[in-house]
Amino acid sequence: KAGVTQTPRYLIKTRGQQVTLSCSPISGHRSVSWYQQTPGQGLQFLFEYFSETQRNKGNFPGRFSGRQFSNSRSEMNVSTLELGDSALYLCASSDRPDLNEQFFGPGTRLTVL
Amino acid sequence: QKEVEQDPGPLSVPEGAIVSLNCTYSNSAFQYFMWYRQYSRKGPELLMYTYSSGNKEDGRFTAQVDKSSKYISLFIRDSQPSDSATYLCAMSVTGNTPLVFGKGTRLSVIA
Q: What is the pLDDT along chain B (111 residues), one digit of tens a residue?
A: 679 999 888 999 999 999 999 999 999 999 999 999 999 989 999 999 998 888 999 999 999 999 999 999 999 999 999 999 999 999 999 877 889 999 999 999 999
Q: Is A31 on the interface with B (CB under 8 A)?
A: no
Contact A97 B95 (CB under 8 A): yes
Q: Do A42 and B99 touch (CB under 8 A)?
A: no
pLDDT (0 to 100) of residue A70: 95
pLDDT of residue B43: 94
Kindly determine whether residue B44 and residue A43, on different chains, have CB atoms separated by under 8 Å. yes
Higher-pLDDT residue of A2, B57: B57
- All residues of chain B having their beta carbon less than 8 Å from the beta carbon of residue A58 are 98
Put residue B30 in one of left, alpha, beta given phi > 0 → left and psi -120 to 50 → alpha.
beta
* B48 contacts on A by Cβ (under 8 Å): none
Give CA B85 to chain center in angstroms. Answer: 12
Nearest to B36 by CA among B79, B8, B74: B74
Question: Chain B contact for A60, CB < 8 A?
Answer: no
Q: What is the pLDDT of residues A18-71, one digit of tens each?
A: 999 999 999 999 999 999 999 989 999 999 999 999 998 999 999 999 999 999
Facing residues of B102 across strands? none
Average pLDDT (A6-16) is 97
> From the CA of A9, how many Å to the nearest CA of chain B?
10
- Given this model, what pLDDT does residue B1 score? 66
The whole-angstrom separation of Cα A27 and Cα A6 is: 14
